[in-house]
Amino acid sequence: MPVAILTSALSWHLPQPFLQRLFFVTQVTYNPLSPSNDCIFSGPWAGFVNMTKTLPPSSMILLLFLLAILVPVAANAASHTNSGFPKPVVDAPISPSHGHEEAVLSGGCFWGVQAVFEHTRGVTAVISGYAGGKADTARYQQVETGRTGHAESVRITYDPAQITYGELLMIFFSVAHDPTQLNKQGPDWGTQYRSAIFYSTPEQKKIAEAYIAQLDSAKVYSQKIVTQIAPLAGFFAAEDYHQDYVKHHPDNPYIVINDLPKLSALRKQFPQLYREY
């Protein structure tokens, strides 16, 4: 019996990466030959959604869309306990001369994380890519299985005379993602969406470890930070269509729901570090 993804059966015309992100949470299969037009759900919300699977497909898609909106909003609202975000006590000093240094961070979908740091003063380039796995599996379709060891990541090139590594981590922990979510971020689930810092020098490792301890001690979050700190074995640039995704697709529903609020938060919380494209 033929089975198709619900969006295909309904002839939706949303960008494919958005569909993958939306339906990774709860995969939907639609049986077009079924007299009841029923849908079959799998994923973290399967139990709840299957209770309503007698609804028509159009109602199902609306339900999933609302869940995609409400869950990340509720999670982010509950995570912060302090109004002000502390600066790192342990940090590298501002360099007396201009230069180029790199940081590799993972905080869920790389679309929004890339956009946040592209709007950060002192950052000269941001590339979306994969880190944590091997070169031969650094492809989107493989990484999205969650079995490659890779995490969706960004490589940030910055001028240490304008911004420090610790300040990048401050933005990473405060507005770029929620570091208390284990192997997920908002509507995206899997180890490829884990929170991680891939350090390339002993100093980066020291600053990251000290900052996490500082934030946990200050109880900035109501739950413990689960960010992984690991040595950088390699960074592999993602496919071209992933680069600058927020800039090129600001009206994409996934971007509107999950990523534009991060840019607003960056502008509001750190106006001295915010810049336009």
Catalytic residues: 109
Q: Which of 1, 2, 5 is nearest to 40 (CA)?
A: 5
Write the DSSP symbol of residue 137.
Answer: G
Q: Which of 201, 202, 182 is nearest to 193 (CA)?
A: 182
Dig out the tokens for 39 from the structure. Answer: 């849908």
State whether residue 163 is helix, strand or coil: coil
Strand partners, 231: 199
Phi, psi of 196 (to 5 degrees): -155, 150
Q: How far, in Å, CA of 187 to CA of 112, rounded?
A: 13
Q: How far, in Å, CA of 58 to CA of 50, rounded?
A: 15
**What type of residue is 105?**
L
Residues 6+ apart with CB under 8 A from 41: 26, 27, 28, 29, 49, 50, 53
Helix axes 110-118, 260-269, angle to 10 degrees: 30
**Are the beta carbons of 175 and 265 closer than 8 angstroms?**
yes
State whether residue 124 is helix, strand or coil: strand
